[in-house]
Amino acid sequence: MAEAVFSSSEKDGVSAKAYCSDGSVMLAFDLDQQLTSGLAGFAIKCTPPSGNPYYIPNRLSFSTPITTKTTPEQRKWTPSSQAPIQKFRWIDFPNDAGSGTFTYEVTPMYFDGNALRAGPVASVQAKFGALQTGNPDIGFTRGYISSQGYAARFNNAPIRPDTKTIDFDTAPYVKQYEWLGYHARQILFNFMQECMADPDVTVDLFAYDLDEPDFVRDLVNLGGKLRAVLDNASLHTQKGAMEIDALALLQQSAGEDHIQVGHFKRFAHDKVLIQKKNGVAVKVLTGSANFSVRGLYVQANNVLVFNNADTAGLYEQAFNEAFTDMKNFSKAAIAQEWFPINISGGAPCSICFSPHKTAEVSLDKVATAIQNAKSSVIYAVMQLGGGGQVLQQLREIGSNNQIFSYGVTQSAGKLNLYQPGQTKAIFADFNYLSSKVPAPFRKEWSGGAGQVIHDKFVAVDFNGENPVVFSGSSNLAEGGEKENGDNLLAITDPAIVIAYAVEGIRLVDHYHFRMVMKTATDVKPLELQGPDAPQPWWQPYYTPDTVKYNDRMLFAG
C-alpha cells in the first residue's frame, strides 16, 4: 500500500480513530468514563477537500419518534450537532469520496437543560485515495441495490431490460452502474481499456458468470489477443443462459482454439484477467466479482489488481495448466502449496490455487489464523452451509467471548448476520422494505433472485499486531477447494486488512437496519434517548465483558 489508512487523536479525555476503506471510513470514538455524566451522544463534523464543512446527519432525533405512522413530511434528517450519534462508532460513505483528505471532528454533546452543550473535540483525518494508489489496487461494489440510497437516487429503476440479452444498450443504465459498481467497476474497465489500447498486450481470462454487455464487448474487441477458460456448468449452458451467447461471440472474435470450456471437477469458478506484455504476464485482476450484471451491480463483491510481474506470472501458470489440462489441474505443481507474492510495502503475502487433492492445502492456513485470533474475526462469506474446518470455525466463533466476531452471509433468500456472543444468526429479510415500509422510508427493490452477499473474505485481528485477510474467489468450503478452479489470497498489509474489515462491518450494519425497523412501533418507536432515561444509553459500553464494552475497546479504546 502507498500509505497507511488509519489515524487517531486524543484531547482532554475524548479520542477518535479513523479506519479507511474504499470510499468509506469507520470513525470510532472514546471518552473517559468520568466524562460520561449527561452524555447525549457524539456530533461528527466533516470537512471534505472542498473545504465546506457539514455535520453528519442522523435519521433519529429527540423530538420525532419514528413509527409506522410517521409520514415523510414529519421526518427530516437532523445534523448530529442537534441529534447526536448514540453509538461509539459510525461509518461514513461521503458522496464525493475521491482522492483527498477529509477531516472529521468528533465532539461529545451533553444535556444542558433543554439544550445541548459541546465538550472537547478530537480531530482525525481520512485519506481517501490511498487504496487506489497502492499495489494491489482494491475496489468494492456498493452492494446497496436493496437500500434507501438506491431507492432515493434511482427510484428502484431496473438495471437491465426485461428481456435479457448479451448485447443490450447500457447507456440508459450507466449512472446506476457507476453508483452500484463503484470502484470495483472502475478498476475492471480501466484494466480492459489498458489492454485494448496497447497492441503489444494480450489477455488471458478465467470467467464463471459472464453477461455484462460492455465487458463482453471489450473482450470481443480484443479479437485474437484473447484466450479464455470459461465455465460450462448447467446454469451456463441451459436454454436462456447469456453465457451461451457470450461463448459464441468470443469463439468468433478470438477463434475457437483460443477458448476452452470446462469445469475442473465441478466449477471453473475463478474470476481473473491476466495482462501480458509481449507474451509476459505483468498485471492481474482477481477477486470475488463475476463479470456479470449481478456480480457488479447487485452483489456485494470485491476486486483486486496486482501490478506485479511475479504475481501475474503465478496466475499465468495456473491459467496455462487449466487451458491445457483442466481435469488434472490438482496434480500440477501450481496447486500444491501457497506461493509468496510481493506487494507495496513488502508485507508478507501469498496465494494458493485450487482444486487440490486435499482441502487442507489451502484451508489449513486460514483455519490457523482464525484459531490464533487475538481480538477480532470479521467476515463476509457467501454462505456457511458448506463443509470444512474454516466454515465450521466461523459458525462457532461467536461462542468465544474473547474474540469480537462480526459477519454476514446469505442463504435461501435471507441474510444471516452474526454478532459477538452469538452462534445463531439473526435474519434480515430482503423483502421487508418492499412489503412493510415504515414511513419515512421508501419501498426498496428486494435484490432479485440469487445471492446478494457474494464476498468471500475473512479479516483476522485487523487492528492488531498480526493482521491478515483472506480473499479471492474461493468460498472457503472443503468441497470447493477439492473440486473448483479458484484462487485464495492471504494479505498481511495492515491498510488492506483494515479496508476489508471496515467493509465487513459496513455490510453488517447496513443490513441490520432491517431488523431495527421492525421495532418501529407505537410501543417501541425509534428515537434518541433523552436525559431522563432509567439507564443511560452509554452505560453498557462501560460494563466489562459485555458486547458493547468489547466493541468500544476494540475499535476506539
| CATH number of the domain bearing residue 53 | 2.60.40.10
Domain range spanning residue 492? 134-514
Q: Flag whether 372 is in a domain.
A: yes
What is the torsion angle, in degrees rounded to the nearest 10, for the CA atoms of residue 442, residue 446, residue 447 and residue 453? Answer: 100
Give every CB contact of residue 429 below 8 A, 6+ residues apart in sequence: 414, 415, 514
C-alpha cell at position 422? 452469538
Predicted confidence (pLDDT) per residue in 479-515, tens digit: 999 999 999 999 999 999 999 999 998 888 777 666 6
Predicted confidence (pLDDT) per residue in 24-80, tens digit: 899 999 999 999 999 999 999 999 998 899 999 998 888 877 666 555 555 578 999
* Same domain (yes/no): 380, 485: yes
| CATH code of the domain covering residue 352 | 3.30.870.10
* Same domain (yes/no): 246, 364: yes
**pLDDT score recorded for residue 461:** 97
Q: Which residue has the higher pLDDT, 542 or 77?
A: 542
What is the overall mean pLDDT for the chain?
A: 87
CA distances from 148 to 59, 152, 178, 432, 433 (A): 12, 6, 17, 12, 9
In whole angstroms, give the CA distance from residue 307 to residue 316. 14
**pLDDT score recorded for residue 60:** 86
Collapse the DSSP code of 50 into the 3-class scheme (helix H, G, I; strand E, B; otherwise coil) and give the result. coil
Q: Flag whether 350 is in a domain.
A: yes
* Same domain (yes/no): 291, 417: yes
Q: Flag whether 464 is in a domain.
A: yes
Q: What is the mean pLDDT of residues 198-206?
A: 98
**pLDDT score recorded for residue 65:** 74
Q: Flag whether 357 is in a domain.
A: yes
Residue 435 has pLDDT above 90, yes or no: no
* Same domain (yes/no): 109, 142: no
C-alpha cell at position 134? 497502492
* Same domain (yes/no): 381, 428: yes
Neighbours of 116 (CB within 10 A): 18
**How many domains in the chain?**
2
Full-model pTM = 0.92
With cut-offs at 50, 70 and 90, classify the pLDDT of residue 3. Answer: very low
In whole angstroms, give the CA distance from residue 20 to residue 97. 11
**pLDDT score recorded for residue 85:** 97
* Same domain (yes/no): 291, 321: yes
DSSP bridge partners of 410: 415
Residue 534 has pLDDT above 80, yes or no: yes
Q: Flag whether 55 is in a domain.
A: yes
| Residue 301 DSSP symbol | -
* Same domain (yes/no): 126, 141: no
Q: Flag whether 519 is in a domain.
A: no
**pLDDT score recorded for residue 51:** 86
Neighbours of 34 (CB within 10 A): 7
Q: Flag whether 521 is in a domain.
A: no
* Same domain (yes/no): 238, 167: yes
* Same domain (yes/no): 178, 296: yes
* Same domain (yes/no): 82, 59: yes
Predicted confidence (pLDDT) per residue in 377-409, tens digit: 999 888 767 789 999 898 888 888 788 888 877
Collapse the DSSP code of 315 into the 3-class scheme (helix H, G, I; strand E, B; otherwise coil) and give the result. helix
Neighbours of 269 (CB within 10 A): 25
* Same domain (yes/no): 290, 347: yes
Q: Flag whether 118 is in a domain.
A: yes
* Same domain (yes/no): 301, 197: yes
